[in-house]
Structure 1
Amino acid sequence: MAEPGGEEERPLLGSAHNDCPQRQALPALCDPRRLAHRLLVLVFMCFLGFGSYFCYDNPAALQTQVQRDMKVNTATFMALYAWYSWPNVVLCFFGGFLIDRVFGIRLGTIIFSSFVCVGQVIFAMGALFNAFWLMEAGRFVFGIGGESLAVAQNAYAVSWFKGKELNLVFGLQLSMARIGSTVNMNIMGWIYSRVQDLLGSTGHSTLGFTLMIGGVTCIFSLICALILAYLDKRAGKILCKEQGKTGEVIKLTDVKDFSLSLWLIFIICVCYYAAVFPFIGLGKVFFIEKFKFSSQEASAINSIVYIISAPMSPVFGFLVDKLGRNIIWVMCAVVATLASHIMLAFTFWNPWIAMCMLGVAYSLLACALWPMVAFVVPEHQLGTAYGFMQSIQNLGLAIIAIAAGTILDSRGYLFLEVFFSACICLSLIAVVMLYFVNHLTGGDLNWSAKKREKLQKLTAAEAESREKLRRQNEDDLAKLQPKNDFSLRNRYLSRLGAQVLVAKQFFPTEDIPIKKQKKSLSSHKQYIGSYERAKFIPLLLEINLAYNLKKIKTKRKG
């Protein structure tokens, strides 16, 4: 009789997951399978990018102060945005690859959050020491972590939320990020004034201390990254999931396999954001010069895009979830953005109208465009795809930032607005092409939400059927699996009518490990003499059978 813990208690083939701890009833807030816990994770997920987005637009919120205190022109000032973007031309792509293959989501998020904190500190130290090159270096380090952190944030979202929830989650993430940008636009000037009152004068020291205070938000985001890592690791243990196990191998050469639809999404992203972020970076002075706004009024209207984006992003995310038709929503957003830039360039209408329209369009595009990546690439390539999307976006932003500063210094704001309108036109052309390519290839980018949900259910049912069939085939193969040579000989001899006296209890070599065989066989020396001779019993039986058959034939002849 087998002892407890023996071979009989081991899990069957394909039941390795039985090693996981048994599921216990947990409070809803502590159970990763429950909605309450996932919403808690979503809160930290949203705050993960708060500090990065807050500090990204520090130069825009302090454009006048930076140019005055550091004594630089507009082109040099815009280099602060270019230095942020340059490292991400490469690192965003490899950031996604590192998240997928090397660090994993948890460690990668912590590393990238640390780069954001260190970069902001260096940026502030450059202002304190009146060294603009050090400020540029700080923005470079800040950029190393900033966009890669956004990739990690997207990967977390896809890991915790699936299907129709995804658009809403992206909208909430963007909403919280825009709250950070809005607070930055409206509070950094006030902080600068308070620091100026404490120091008694303006100058690079005042600017440096102001930027250092802004860096506190980056520390807050780093804390959120640590909490997220703990919660994700805990969920992995409870749900018996291994981090980074995608089931397929990711190769850097996967980029050449990206579909035409995905490349068109990349073009839309680059051309659209190239006409939004650089405009906001230079918008404060634009409203002061063209519309004669005060500094506070200019900061307020320049931040209206982010103010609108904060509450509208989850609304639009929910709307896109319910209705689908992502390409149509993207097209509407691009057309509205083009109309906004034309109004700002060629009319003196109240700029609040154009900026509010731009804010609505910006929110809508983000909620409809980014989730489309998950529809056209396999899940194991999502980190790489999002990383590459961020990478080429930053390439465009770096080039456009330098070009925008140069155009503004040499030609003025009218030519700059025409330039931004041309970028939006390119984005519109790419959207139209994406619509027809998706239609011709039978893609699902423009499906309704009901149709997509129906297909997902059908796909899940087919996958379940294939899994059941696979398990049934494994069971059938296990039943048909041949036994060892000794068992086959005994079966053959028994069918011939020969007497098989060598029982399993004499030769327990089939179910007992090798180390125990000698000990077991030694107790049967009265039957077989020794263990070495036992190995020849099957051969002796065959010889005996052949002898008996020969004897029978001889009698028949006689």
Structure 2
Amino acid sequence: MSEETKQAIRKTIADSAGMRWGILLLVSFAMAVNYYFYDVLSPIQEEIIKKLGLSEAEYGGIIAAYSIPNAIFLMAAIGGMICDKLGVRLSGVTFFGSMVVGAFLTYYGTTDTFNAGGPGYAFLDSFWSGHSPAFKMMAIGFFLFGLGAETSAVIISKIVIKWFRGREMATALGINVGIARVASSLTFSIGAWLADPVWNRPVLVGLIIMVTGFLAFIAYLFFDVVYERQLAEQNQEPEEPFKLMDAVRLLTKPTYIFVALLCVTFYAGVFPFQKYAVDLMQNKFLMSKQSAGMIVSALPLAMAVITPLFGMLYDFKGKGATLMIVGSLLMVIGHSLLSLTDLNPLVALVFLGISFSLVPAVMWPSLAKIVEEKALGSAYGLTFTIQNLGLMAITALIGIVLGMANPGVAEAKRLCDSATLDHEQSNAAAVAPACKQFLEELGQPGRDQPTAKVTRLGDFCRHAGSMETGTMVEQGRRLCTQVTYDYKYPILMLVLFGIIGLIFAFLLKWADNKEGYGLELPNKDLAK
């Protein structure tokens, strides 16, 4: 047999560009439904509260149930180890199945069938009497959905790397994440449209899409079996199986530790910023809520397009550690401009958009160079867990700093809202009771001195009763428009995290030079 014939025989289905890109689209769809369903309740929040008789706190509890498996049980880390031990097929079916069951229970909790005494209603009504069966059913559903969601992202990442290792790995991971971001952004527009006239139809459609995504994953498994057999035929020695110590050893690798810490500090400047960005644009740059929302919502969509382009740059030109340094530096510049200057915020958002796209495009595929294939699921799961725990603490800290930097502003905002002084049609009759509550809150012992604008609003409240109605409303409305949050110090915190991330990026480059993982090399040079 000629050598040319032997080489042809050794080829796998992943060597076919059409096959591997088709696989990417298949598994990316399976992951995108995860992102879509996560936000499926948001467009109908008001309807859920009204139709099911829930409180705002109970609605928040349903959403929070998603985080319990990951925040308390560290499910992403454990799920990653399960993926490495059992393989993507068995673990994938298990965790995708958990999402489907969770999606079904979430929808079932909104239906008339259940709330009229359907299966499970009596049991859920028999305990925790302070909360309705609908709340409990939906919380259980979102818990099971969250149980599988984070781990399914780990599984899909490992699948993409498996098919694109040594090829267009970063580009493929970028496209995978981009598709998920687009799916998440579509939830709001599609959900609002579907809710009229059947209010819970968005959840039903989300369930149907979730089942379709599960079927897409099942279809992938047939290709995975073929690919595994071809790889087994090529390998003369079987790969050593995953052991728990392989995951433990990750924490002794300086290169991995630097990537994980860069991940935490970098995303500390991304997700909290996205949470507060609309309010920042309104308060500092006096944008309307609609304009601010449009600009901020465009950011993740732009990232979905740009991230694969940076992935392509890494695939064919390399310089991964250097690109992470550049991306971290751009985030520091962007947040500094927002915090310390009055420049048009679009300038800062350009820096942040490039940074938010560049670092993930390089960081996640770099893990595949640092960690052995058998422990890759553990690496991604552990990194997700470290990121999630860090972000929980950091987001809470930013909220505390925002409150400390703006004493009395939250109370003033509540006054303006309850008296409708921040609306075109103000309710003069509501001003007096709202002012009374506001002054009581400001007068509580141990409170920090309120800002000057809040103090002026307090003076207004003390004299509002003696004013002519039209004058009172006009002056109150003017003072309410002046009460804004100062985001200087919270955004400076993001600058600080960016600087720390920049230090970890430099340390990562130093460690790579020392240990020789090839982060500066193109991904096409990575051994297949």
Q: Say whether the 8 Å CA contact 1:186–1:299 is kept in structure 2.
A: no
Correspondence for 1:218 among 210, 225, 230: 210
Partners of 1:402 and 1:135 in 2: how far apart? 26
Matches for 1:292-371 after TM superposition, within 5 Å: 292-294=286-288, 296-371=290-365
Unaligned 5+ runs, structure 2: 1-5, 116-131, 407-484
Cα distance, 1:283 vs structure 2? 3.7
Cα distance, 1:267 vs structure 2? 0.5
Cα distance, 1:209 vs structure 2? 4.6
1:51 aligns with 2:51: no
1:144 aligns with 2:127: no
1:154 aligns with 2:181: no
Partner of 1:448: 521
Partners of 1:400 and 1:138 in 2: how far apart? 28
- Give a deviation string over 1:305-357, Cα, whole Å, max 9, x none: 22112221221111111111111111111122222223333444443333343
Partner of 1:540: none
Correspondence for 1:169 among 160, 167, 172: 172
* Aligned sequence identity (%): 26
- Give a deviation string over 1:271-302, Cα, whole Å, max 9, x none: 22233223324444444555455554444322
Q: Say whether the 8 Å CA contact 2:247–2:375 is kept in structure 1.
A: no
Partners of 1:241 and 1:107 in 2: how far apart? 22
Deviates more, 1:61-70 or 1:321-330: 61-70
Cα distance, 1:105 vs structure 2? 0.8
SS of the residue aligned with 2:197? helix
Partners of 2:504 and 2:300 in 1: how far apart? 25
Cα distance, 1:433 vs structure 2? 1.9
Relative to structure 1, is the Cα distance of residues 249 and 240 closer, same or farther in structure 2, using a 3 angstrom cutoff? closer
Relative to structure 1, is the Cα distance of residues 348 and 246 closer, same or farther in structure 2, using a 3 angstrom cutoff? farther
Unaligned 5+ runs, structure 1: 1-21, 200-205, 461-558
Cα distance, 1:251 vs structure 2? 1.9
Amino acid at match of 1:162: R
Partners of 2:45 and 2:175 in 1: how far apart? 29
Cα distance, 1:33 vs structure 2? 4.5
Partner of 1:94: 78
- Give a deviation string over 1:251-273, Cα, whole Å, max 9, x none: 22223422111011000111222
Correspondence for 1:426 among 492, 495, 500: 500
Q: Say whether the 8 Å CA contact 1:51–1:221 is kept in structure 2.
A: yes
Q: Say whether the 8 Å CA contact 1:86–1:395 is kept in structure 2.
A: no
Correspondence for 2:272 among 270, 274, 278: 278
SS of the residue aligned with 2:323? helix
Q: Say whether the 8 Å CA contact 1:304–1:359 is kept in structure 2.
A: no
Relative to structure 1, is the Cα distance of residues 31 and 372 closer, same or farther in structure 2, using a 3 angstrom cutoff? closer
SS of the residue aligned with 1:87? helix
Q: Say whether the 8 Å CA contact 1:82–1:397 is kept in structure 2.
A: no
Q: Say whether the 8 Å CA contact 1:60–1:280 is kept in structure 2.
A: no
SS of the residue aligned with 2:516? coil
Cα distance, 1:34 vs structure 2? 2.4
Correspondence for 2:388 among 394, 397, 421: 394
Partners of 1:135 and 1:423 in 2: how far apart? 36
Relative to structure 1, is the Cα distance of residues 94 and 119 closer, same or farther in structure 2, using a 3 angstrom cutoff? same
Correspondence for 1:116 among 99, 102, 109: 99
1:183 aligns with 2:193: no
Amino acid at match of 2:300: Y
Q: Say whether the 8 Å CA contact 2:366–2:519 is kept in structure 1.
A: no
Partner of 1:555: none
Deviates more, 1:358-367 or 1:258-267: 358-367
Amino acid at match of 1:247: E
Partners of 2:287 and 2:188 in 1: how far apart? 15
Partner of 2:222: 230
SS of the residue aligned with 2:517? coil
Amino acid at match of 2:37: C
Correspondence for 2:372 among 374, 378, 381: 378
**How many pairs does the alignment contain?**
415
Q: Say whether the 8 Å CA contact 1:172–1:314 is kept in structure 2.
A: yes
Correspondence for 1:250 among 242, 245, 260: 242
Cα distance, 1:369 vs structure 2? 0.5
Relative to structure 1, is the Cα distance of residues 282 and 51 closer, same or farther in structure 2, using a 3 angstrom cutoff? farther
Q: Say whether the 8 Å CA contact 1:82–1:398 is kept in structure 2.
A: no
Cα distance, 1:153 vs structure 2? 0.6
Partners of 1:105 and 1:367 in 2: how far apart? 23
The structure that has the greater radius of gyration is 1
Partners of 2:45 and 2:294 in 1: how far apart? 14
Partners of 2:110 and 2:400 in 1: how far apart? 23
Cα distance, 1:138 vs structure 2? 4.2
Q: Say whether the 8 Å CA contact 1:270–1:393 is kept in structure 2.
A: yes
Q: Say whether the 8 Å CA contact 1:109–1:152 is kept in structure 2.
A: yes
Partners of 2:27 and 2:496 in 1: how far apart? 35
Q: Say whether the 8 Å CA contact 1:330–1:431 is kept in structure 2.
A: yes
Deviates more, 1:165-174 or 1:55-64: 55-64
